[in-house]
Amino acid sequence: MEDFEQNGADPLTVSVHQMNLDRLRFLFRSYLTICLQKFHSLSWTHMHVLQESNAPWRPSDC
């Protein structure tokens, strides 16, 4: 963004680009948060099933 400002770009154009970057950052962070929550939930569910079945856990189960 500093490059745009230093090159004399229109402030409105700089603002639009900054808003788009902020929007993409928000979407990406939200997506990663949801993925991590699902991973955490599924891993705990999987461990609970293994404990109930008294089956030995093996790294190949992942």
Q: Can you give the pTM of this predicted structure?
A: 0.57
Number of domains in the chain: 1
Is residue 9 very low, low, confident or very high in pLDDT (cuts 50, 70, 90)?
confident
pLDDT digits (tens, 9 = 90+) for 16-62: 999 999 999 999 999 999 999 988 888 877 776 666 766 565 666 55
Q: Tokens for 52?
A: 């109930």
| Residue 6 structural domain | 2-61
Looking at residue 54, its pLDDT comes to 66
The alpha helices in 1-62, defined as continuous H runs, are: 2-6, 11-53
Task: Give residue 28's identity as a one-letter amino acid code.
Answer: F
